[in-house]
Amino acid sequence: MGKGLANVKPETHIVTALAAGESETLLFAARSRLSNLIVEFVVTYDDLLAKANVSRYSASIAIRTVEQAWKKILNPYLPGKPDPNLEQFHQLFVGREDVLSFIMDNLVGSAAERIVVLYGHRRTGKTWTLLRLRDRLPDIYVPVYIDMQGTTGVSGAPALLQNFADRILNGVRERCKLNDQTLRSIRVPNLDDYEKNYPYHFESRFLSDVQSALGRRKLLWLIDEFQGLEDMVSREQLEPTFMEFLRHLMQFGKNMAFVFAGTREVTGKYWSVFFNIAVNRKIGVLSDSDAARLIIDPVKRSGVKHDRFAVPLIKQLTGNHPYYIQLLCDKVVSQLNAHRQMLVNAQIIEDAVNELVIPGTSNVKFYWDEVMDERERAVAGAMQEILRRRQSTDVKTIWSEFNGINPRITAQDVTASLKTLADKDLLEKNRAALDTYKFRIGLVERYIGAHVPYADTQERIGKSW
């Protein structure tokens, strides 16, 4: 600690292991009355040759006052909003070029159009990608967005098809400038018609009329939360034969293409019928450069600047997860306004993290609640505790912690959950240390540290295997 400094927090940081070329941004908060000071750092590290090597270095620090005049920053971020207005959406949407071209290749670029399934864990951006697709398609496609979560109150094929027909008509109206006469030529069945014979009324009359009205253009069904259909079948809100009807439409329906999005790959019981005709594509976290764009660009216009540690720190805290970036950046903007400041620095980010993590509200918690299962919670909870004790988070250490509580658990059990957590982008393998994992989404690690007592984790370890 240097002269004139007080309350350095935290006094020590632990970095598990770093591979060549890898870096980690560490944050120390300090108070000083002086405008120039010298700070001394003591670094203790292990390498291949020796343990506990010590190196010291000093930095001369000149404290600057923030020069730029503050003016209220309008918050552009929209964490968790599935369907924002178009202007905001275009301002915020980043990346996914690879996914969009994958879809285009499988629709436009292949001899026979394939059915594309986008799958990914909660809030990774499936819906936003589907919505983005609407602006990227050649005119020949008429996109119709159908959210199966929005139809949970609906029961039975007739009501569901009536719903679909409604969305299709809206999509057609929005996208194609058809004259009234052509629109009136589309025979819209009523519930009675569907109840009498839905394949005939929906396919042979309604869809056939829609297609005549569209001419060369074709309907593109964008079905979001498709597993909702399967859930309707298991809750007996929908007869299983409906799935066969849907497959029939997908295979033989004229001038139609389909993109599905949901949290599962197409492998489930009812979906096996689509297995041969669908291609799956996973949606994960954003690339480094897209994450940086989402952090910087939306606020650049308002004159906000980032110091050189800000962007790496936000990436570390969010693991490039688009929802967490928006969630944190939203709080960063409120902190900037609260501090009347235009520069994003470590202090602002730390205050934003506290604003998010301390109340532990559902938006930060969703990962813990909705993405992870009990075993994964046990492993992540133990990892957080082991890191808190400043031990290494390698498989052996984690397993011996588990074994002390529940001897039934094998090292393979632990590895299996570590792998699924890596697949869910919460953890990543440490490239510098064998069989060692680290948190990739710092916010979730902080959430666990603040809200999950180790006693709960111990109980989970005892019960979950």
Residues at the interface with ligand ATP (CB under 6 A): 78-82, 92-96, 120, 122-128, 263, 294, 322-323, 326
Binding partner at 319 among ligand ATP, Mg ion, none, C-beta below 5 to 8 Å by kind: none
In the complex, least distance from residue 55 CB atom to ligand ATP, rounded to whole angstroms: 41
Contacts of residue 130, Cβ cutoff 8 Å, sequence gap at least 6? 118, 145, 222, 224, 259, 261
Which candidate, 390, 385, 382, 386, places its Cα nearest to that of 52? 390
Alpha carbons within 13 angstroms on the beta-carbon side of residue 435 total 11
* DSSP secondary structure letter of residue 35: S
Binding partner at 237 among ligand ATP, Mg ion, none, C-beta below 5 to 8 Å by kind: none
Q: Which token pair is 344?
A: 């994003």
- For Mg ion, the closer CB: 327 or 344: 327
Binding partner at 442 among Mg ion, ligand ATP, none, C-beta below 5 to 8 Å by kind: none
Binding partner at 326 among Mg ion, ligand ATP, none, C-beta below 5 to 8 Å by kind: ligand ATP
Q: Are the C-beta atoms of 379 and 418 separated by less than 8 Å?
A: yes
Peptide bond preceding 189: is omega within 30 degrees of 0, i.e. cis?
Answer: no
How many C-beta atoms surround the C-beta of residue 127 within 10 A?
20
- For Mg ion, the closer CB: 222 or 383: 222
- For Mg ion, the closer CB: 150 or 312: 150
Which candidate, 19, 124, 102, places its Cα nearest to that of 278? 102
Peptide bond preceding 10: is omega within 30 degrees of 0, i.e. cis?
Answer: yes
Q: Are the C-beta atoms of 379 and 461 separated by less than 8 Å?
A: no
- For ligand ATP, the closer CB: 193 or 330: 330
Which candidate, 341, 338, 337, 331, places its Cα nearest to that of 306? 341
> Does residue 436 interact with Mg ion by CB under 5 A?
no
In the complex, least distance from residue 299 CB atom to ligand ATP, rounded to whole angstroms: 13
Binding partner at 457 among Mg ion, ligand ATP, none, C-beta below 5 to 8 Å by kind: none
Classified as helix, coil or strand, 41 is strand
Binding partner at 122 among ligand ATP, Mg ion, none, C-beta below 5 to 8 Å by kind: ligand ATP
Q: Which amino acid is at 6?
A: A
Is the Cα torsion angle 370, 373, 379, 382 positive or negative in sign? positive
- For Mg ion, the closer CB: 94 or 207: 94
In the complex, least distance from residue 123 CB atom to ligand ATP, rounded to whole angstroms: 4
Binding partner at 291 among Mg ion, ligand ATP, none, C-beta below 5 to 8 Å by kind: none
- For Mg ion, the closer CB: 145 or 198: 145
Of the listed pieces 120-128, 312-320, 387-395, 408-416, which binds Mg ion according to CB under 5 A?
120-128
User: Residue with the closest Cβ to ligand ATP?
Assistant: 125
> Does residue 227 interact with Mg ion by CB under 5 A?
no
In the complex, least distance from residue 115 CB atom to Mg ion, rounded to whole angstroms: 18
- For ligand ATP, the closer CB: 129 or 393: 129
Of the listed pieces 71-79, 118-126, 322-330, 393-401, which binds Mg ion according to CB under 5 A?
118-126
> Does residue 127 interact with Mg ion by CB under 5 A?
yes
Of the listed pieces 100-108, 126-134, 386-394, 425-433, which binds Mg ion according to CB under 5 A?
126-134
- For ligand ATP, the closer CB: 294 or 409: 294
Which 48-87 residues touch Mg ion, going by CB under 5 A? none
* Contacts of the segment 396-401: beta carbons below 8 A, 24+ positions apart: 396/435, 401/461
In the complex, least distance from residue 83 CB atom to ligand ATP, rounded to whole angstroms: 8
Alpha carbons within 13 angstroms on the beta-carbon side of residue 318 total 36
Q: Is 348 left (phi over 0), alpha (psi -120 to 50) or beta?
A: alpha
Contacts of residue 373, Cβ cutoff 8 Å, sequence gap at least 6? 420
* DSSP secondary structure letter of residue 394: B
Residues 133 and 362: their CA atoms lie apart, in Å, by 29
Of the listed pieces 25-33, 125-133, 184-192, 431-439, which binds Mg ion according to CB under 5 A?
125-133
CA 54 to chain CA centroid, Å, is: 40
Q: Are the C-beta atoms of 351 and 335 separated by less than 8 Å?
A: yes
Which 345-404 residues touch Mg ion, going by CB under 5 A? none
In the complex, least distance from residue 259 CB atom to ligand ATP, rounded to whole angstroms: 13
- For Mg ion, the closer CB: 126 or 446: 126
Q: Which residues would be at the binding site for Mg ion (CB under 5 A)?
A: 126-127
